[in-house]
Amino acid sequence: MSINRIVRIACLAGIAGFSAGVSPAALAAEEVTLYTTREPGLIKPLLDAFTEKSGVQVKTLFVKDGLAERVATEGANSPADVLMTVDFGNLIDLVDKGVVQPVKSDALNAAIPANLRDADGRWFALSTRARVLYASKDRTDLKSFTYEDLADPKWKGKVCIRAGQHPYNTALIANMIAKDGAAKTEEWLKGVKANLARKAGGGDRDVARDILGGICDVGLANSYYVGLMRSGAGGPDQVKWGEAINVILPTFEKGGTHVNVSGAAVAKNAPHAANAVKLLEFLVSDEAQELYAKANFEYPVKAGVKADPIIASFGELKIDPAELTAIGKNRKAASELADKVGFDN
């Protein structure tokens, strides 16, 4: 094919685009690229709803590990617009790596409580999960509980929990340090370790399994796993695990219930930054927050949106007011304390 013919075809294509009233540049802009550590299946209903509502196509790349490092390595050439992850520690890591940009959005600020977003708009929580108490229906009759109670000697040999070095527990320890200081938190960790029925480890659903098996009577785990178990999403055995426990929303003695989050940020070099903000704003809309509740049994971050009935049955969630950013500063100290007391040994 001659050069003249190639040029003629390109020009005709351009004219066709303009004749439809939309420029090729505008067509290319109606997309957004999402890098996510969340399983794509969990968020697909949300992304599909966004595209249907906005007309913006979402390109999704699942990044299991090393999200911040990948985007940093890609640098100015990164196609990432939105970075989505679980655990506020990972969101803070994105900031520390310098791979996000600040966002000013009245919609985001109005929907998300101040303690669940970065003060400078560099990341935003989109849903929450509470660190709750699983308690045996047969062997306990608890109505309330504090995190501090877990170190009470009356629970000696009756506590199950996953590893202290797991981010879920490191975040809780960091929260306690923010409230009570390192010395008091160390004593608490020693007390919890002394009460363990088995070595700290496994997953959160294993806590429910071991309660059913009589290995322990109580344990800490995330709220959304109860929804996954009782709904049958994990199979018939897990239904039995979920039905064997009562769920209590524990609090700190001087505070509320510890939560962790899923959240997102706009990438520093986002090619479609406006669409990235548009996606984040959609994800805190009533429609999207209801989908979060249904898709993975998470608590909506926006006030007034109902949780799934299984999760709502636990009672009213009163989130601890400590800022996640402040808690995040204690993550290293929390990890060091877990090692110091030999929590996972």
- Which residue numbers belong to the known binding site for Fe cation? 224-225
Instruction: Kindly state the DSSP code that residue 298 receives in the 8-state scheme.
Output: P
Q: What is the residue-wise DSSP string for 176-190?
A: HHHHH-HHHHHHHHH
Question: Parallel, antiparallel, or unpaired for β 245-248 and 31-36?
Answer: unpaired
- Best CA proximity match to 128, nearest among 279, 342, 320: 320
Helix (H, G, I), strand (E, B) or coil at 203: coil
Binding residues: 224-225
Output 148-153 pairs: Cβ under 8 A, ≥24 positions apart. 148/188, 148/252, 148/253, 149/250, 150/188, 150/191, 150/192, 150/195, 150/218, 150/220, 151/187, 151/188, 151/189, 151/190, 151/191, 151/192, 151/194, 151/195, 152/191, 152/195, 153/191, 153/194, 153/195
Contacts of 12 by beta carbon, 8 Å cutoff, 6+ apart: none
Q: Tally helices (H) and strands (E) across the chain.
A: 16, 10
Rounded to an integer, what distance in angstroms lies between the CA atom of residue 267 and that of residue 161? Answer: 35
Element (H, E) at 259: strand 259-267
Q: How far is the C-alpha of 97 from the C-alpha of 104, rounded, in Å?
A: 20
Q: From 89, 119, 93, 116, select the one nearest 104 (Cα to Cα).
A: 119
The residues that bridge with 130 in the sheet, in sequence order, are 259
